[in-house]
Amino acid sequence: MDFKYLILMIAFATVEINLTESRQNDKRRWKSEKSLYSHYVNICDIQDRVSKVHCYCESIKIKTATKADCWVFNGGIAEDDPFWSNFYSQPKIERLTFNVRADGGLTYIPAKVIVRLDRLQYLNIQYANIFSIPSFAFTNSTTLREISLQKNKIGKLERMAFAHLIMLANVSVAENQISELQRDVFYVLPNLQRLQLSKNTISVLHDGCFKHLNNLIKLDLNSNLLTVVIRENFQGLSNLITLDMRNNKLMMIGDLSFAELWSLQELYLDGNEIEFISERGFGGLTQLKKLSLADNKLGVLDDGVLDDIQKLNFLDLRNNKLETLKQETLRSVIDNMKSNYALISLDGNKLTCDCRLSWLHKLRNETRSKRVKASLDRLQCIMDTKLKNNLVNIKVQNAEVQYKVNIGLKKEIDKNDDDEEEFEDDNIYDDAMKDQENGLDVTKKDYRRKLMEIPVDMLPCASKLSYEASFSPPTQDEVKYYKTSGCEKCLASTVSFITMCTLTRIL
Ligand SMILES: *[C@@H]1O[C@H](CO)[C@@H](O)[C@H](O)[C@H]1NC(C)=O
Ligand SMILES: *[C@@H]1O[C@H](CO)[C@@H](O)[C@H](O)[C@H]1NC(C)=O
Ligand SMILES: *[C@@H]1O[C@H](CO)[C@@H](O)[C@H](O)[C@H]1NC(C)=O
């Protein structure tokens, strides 16, 4: 009996001693940390010159830094390198950046760091060689708000790569090599608002790949290789406000492609190869205000194409191949184009100077938007040889009156040119348009006229054309009209043209 007790007592005593010892150890360690002799190296104050990682922080005192810029040098650092635990020395870091200085320096997301920093909000890694982002790469962090992974050669995003990150608001994986987006890559991200996927090589969006992003506001797919866009691509994005799909390879927009985007207000499709937009291509976009289709290959716009977009007040169709734009096409939005901040832009098309464009005169007259006025004032249309011929041949009953109207209009336009400086916004945009105008093909210049400088009555109509076609040569008055109608430079060509006509008649 006694012997047993003795053994027990000895056992307890040993445990007691061990406990005390380890407590003392803890105390010692704590003390040494306080006195900067931490068992962890202070990552903000690394003395070792051969260290593979160096960080610069706004404070080098232990456990105080909130911001660290870390550089990963030659040779790289393994995922299980004990160095990563040194981040315990600065547990208050909120903003952490890794700049990788050499190839192969960092080939993974340093999860060991993320999991240790329980105040980390902002993570930025650039110039690494991270070819793939695995599932749960960000360790279900409950603090991360922004993840930026630009220029890291990322080719693959595994399912759940970005998952269970309840505070995450912004993600950028721009300038990588992502070629397709699977489903469930973005998973349980209830606060995600901005997703940047620009400058990758995305050609495939799997159906429902954004399905879990109900609170996304802005999606940037600029500069990728998308050739088609279908409704299923955008499932779940019911709160998206801005979609940027500029500089892809889209060739057509089919029925209801964007119909899942009930809240969309801005759609950018510039710099694609769009030749055709089906009549319901923008079906369902009831909130859309801004539609940008510049630098595509549109030859015609169907009458019904804008019918669903009743709130549209910004329409950019620069640098397409439109030969005309019918009033019917804009029937549902024409009143919006008269409001203060509206813009409609048609420069760089192949618009024909004829009466199908006469409604633009009316719009010019009625709009309150300085931008619409300025844009229409500089809008040029093409008078091809035939039309020029007909324009010359149209009987002008009261040439004098026309002449006055024309001069009046010109004055007003000049006056408005002066106003241009007052534009509140989009100055850059307007400058860009001016540059374009200056860049016009010089050889074609003779055949282009400013639409607003051609009186409405002088715009020929297709029906008129056929029956006016067999008319007599121009009268003196008509030649005079030409001389005075802001086309002084054209006079020479007009005269030579008349000569040509005469020759033709003789022949
Ligand atoms: C993150 O959470 C999910 C769901 O709770 C779980 O399945 C997963 O293993 C967790 N991953 C990590 C790295 O914590
Ligand atoms: C997300 O990005 C936007 C725009 O760049 C910025 O204004 C916002 O503060 C960011 N939000 C967070 C939580 O980082
Ligand atoms: C412009 O408006 C004025 C006054 O509202 C009107 O008299 C004139 O006919 C209009 N001109 C055109 C081309 O619509």
453-495 pLDDT per residue, tens: 988 888 888 664 444 444 444 444 444 444 444 333 334 444 4
Task: Give the residue, by CA position, lying nearest to ligand 3 atom 7.
Answer: 365
Check: CB of residue 64 under 8 Å from CB of residue 92.
yes
Task: Give the residue, by CA position, lying nearest to ligand 1 atom 13.
Answer: 139
Element (H, E) at 21: helix 2-34
In this predicted model, what pLDDT tens digit does every residue of 328-372 receive, in sequence order? Answer: 999 999 999 999 999 999 999 999 998 899 999 999 999 999 999
Stretch among 12-26, 77-91, 179-193, 222-236 having the lowest mean pLDDT? 12-26
139 Cβ closer than 6 Å to some ligand 1 atom: yes
CA 306, chain centre distance (Å): 21
Select the more confidently predicted residue: 388 or 50.
50
Does the predicted model carry a pTM greater than 0.85? no
Give the integer Cα–Cα distance in Å for 226 and 61.
Answer: 50
Task: Give the residue, by CA position, lying nearest to ligand 3 atom 14.
Answer: 362
Beta bridge partners of 95: 67, 122
The values of phi and psi at residue 251, to 5°, are -110, -25
Residue 170 CA: nearest ligand 2 atom is: 1
Residue 139 CA: nearest ligand 1 atom is: 13
Under the banding of pLDDT at 50, 70 and 90, the label for residue 2 is low
**In percent, how much of the chain has pLDDT > 90?**
62
Under the banding of pLDDT at 50, 70 and 90, the label for residue 50 is confident
Ligand nearest to the CA of 139: 1
Ligand 2, residues at Cβ distance < 6 Å: 145-146, 169-170, 194
Task: Give the residue, by CA position, lying nearest to ligand 1 atom 4.
Answer: 164
Ligand nearest to the CA of 169: 2
Element (H, E) at 69: strand 67-72
Under the banding of pLDDT at 50, 70 and 90, the label for residue 103 is low
Residues contacting residue 221 through CB under 8 Å, at least 6 positions apart: 197, 198, 202, 243, 244, 245, 248
Ligand nearest to the CA of 191: 2
Element (H, E) at 24: helix 2-34
Ligand 2 centroid–CA 146 distance in Å is 8
CB neighbours of residue 21 within 10 Å: 10
Residues contacting residue 190 through CB under 8 Å, at least 6 positions apart: 166, 215
167 Cβ closer than 6 Å to some ligand 3 atom: no
